[in-house]
Structure 1
Amino acid sequence: MHGLGDVRFFDRLAPLYDLAMPPADGEALAAGLAHATRPIDRLLDVGGGSGRAAAALAGPEIFVVDASREMLSRARRERGLSAVAGDAGRLPIRDASVDAVTIVDAFHHLPDHGAAIHEISRVLAPGGAVVIREFDPTHPLGRGLVAAEHAIGMSSRFRAPSDLAAALDDAGLDPRIVDRGVGYTVAGVKRKI
């Protein structure tokens, strides 16, 4: 795996992560997934760590990919999820083999945003949706989060909703900003060929 980003931090934090983090926003994720134009039977949770986002979803078969082996161990052991160690920039998943992808509160930790978006587009079947839940660095509270993560040594790179939507569009995904705030949701639907 190249460019592990903040993975060492998450390996150390794994035992406390679910205690420190609030549950994922299932309503925002569902609203983003509702844009898919195909049934969602197989969902890939990229940067899914301990399975926190997967716990907020019901229905599809969920696979977690994360670079932190300690976080994946928790996803398997505590949530019974299928989980594989992998780099978001080189997903260990076949082309057009999943109906949906989620990235929840993790995109800013990925070392290569462009490669991750390309890989998401590659693994999504036509009509499938990606839903990215992130923090807005232009929001006053978002600016505080950026400063806090950098102060503790993280290499986080945050993107505003419109910037992330434009990047999805460039990768062949029809983007929609689902909601805004310090935490926002952007969805993209894989264009049919």
Structure 2
Amino acid sequence: MHGPGDVDFFDRVARLYDRLAPATDPEPLWAGLARADRPVERVLDLAGGTGRAARAIAAPVGIARAPETVVVDASRAMLARAVDRGTPAVQGDAGRLPFRDASADAVVVLDALHHLPEQGAALAEAARVLRPGGVFVVREFDPRTLRGRALVAAEGAVGFDSTFRGPDAWATALDDAGLVPRVLDRGFAFTVVGKKRESQ
């Protein structure tokens, strides 16, 4: 899911990751899932690490039950932490997802898309596994903001080979992947959603 150096780093910090990572606000994720034109019963948490996004959406607002959520990541150590917390997990590459076509109602990626070395392939794979009317929810950081510039510098200092984009650039990338994009919110952290057309 991440570049090789990124995977090694996350393997090393897996035990501490959830203590160091910022708290996850579930509202933007639920706002993105609400854009689906179908019931959201199965969600893939792409590059999901320890399952922060999966756990955030596990307490649904306004629906009868939480969706089944599966974490997909390249880091074995991070996935082990997800499993320890009771979250189903699968080791896999974002550019070659180990799932059938049209097998998920939603794909979410929380604070991780910038780590993926083959972003175009990851978006294409997310589109492939989505069912018609399903959504791809991206929660990312804007490198043009003051905090975003600081984050870009910090990740570079750690040795990550991250590629950050702003919300409009991600919307264009989702459109290129065949999804109908919409920017839901902006700021240092922003949310962009791509919906799979019913005819796809």
Shorter-chain TM range is: over 0.9
Residues 43-58 of structure 1: pairs in structure 2 closer than 5 A: 43-58=43-58
Tell me the equivalent position of 2:141: 135
- Once superposed, which parts of structure 1, at least 4 consecutive aligned residues long, lie more than 4 Å away? none
How many Å apart are 1:53 and its aligned residue? Answer: 1.0
CA distance in 2, matches of 1:170, 1:4: 26
Q: Counterpart of 1:37 in 2: which secondary structure?
A: coil
**Does 1:149 pair with 2:155?**
yes
Residues 27-46 of structure 1: pairs in structure 2 closer than 5 A: 27-46=27-46
How many Å apart are 1:172 and its aligned residue? Answer: 1.3
How many Å apart are 1:4 and its aligned residue? Answer: 3.3
**Does 1:67 pair with 2:46?**
no
Out of 83, 91, 100, the position equivalent to 1:85 is: 91
CA distance in 1, matches of 2:2, 2:11: 16
CA-atom RMSD in angstroms:
1.2
Equivalent AA in structure 2 for residue 16 of structure 1: L
Equivalent AA in structure 1 for residue 73 of structure 2: D
CA distance in 2, matches of 1:107, 1:156: 9
Alignment: residue pair count: 192
CA distance in 1, matches of 2:57, 2:2: 30
Q: Counterpart of 2:52 in 1: which secondary structure?
A: coil
Q: Counterpart of 1:6 in 2: which secondary structure?
A: helix
How many Å apart are 1:5 and its aligned residue? Answer: 5.4
CA distance in 1, matches of 2:5, 2:193: 24
TM-score with structure 1 length normalisation?
0.97
Show structure 1 runs of 5+ residues with no match: none
Q: Counterpart of 1:90 in 2: which secondary structure?
A: coil
Tell me the equivalent position of 2:61: none
CA distance in 1, matches of 2:113, 2:79: 17
Report percent identity of matched pairs. Answer: 62
CA distance in 2, matches of 1:65, 1:186: 20
Tell me the equivalent position of 2:9: 9
How many Å apart are 1:23 and its aligned residue? Answer: 2.1
CA distance in 2, matches of 1:144, 1:184: 16
Q: Counterpart of 1:95 in 2: which secondary structure?
A: coil
CA distance in 1, matches of 2:108, 2:4: 19
1:73-110: CA deviations, max 9, x gaps? 00001x21110110100000100000000000000000
Residues 44 and 63, structure 1, Cα contact 8 Å, conserved in 2: yes
Residues 132 and 187, structure 1, Cα contact 8 Å, conserved in 2: yes
1:108-161: CA deviations, max 9, x gaps? 000110000000000000000110100001111101100010011111110111
Equivalent AA in structure 2 for residue 73 of structure 1: A
How many Å apart are 1:171 and its aligned residue? Answer: 1.2
CA distance in 1, matches of 2:2, 2:146: 33
Tell me the equivalent position of 2:63: none
TM-score with structure 2 length normalisation?
0.93
CA distance in 2, matches of 1:16, 1:111: 24
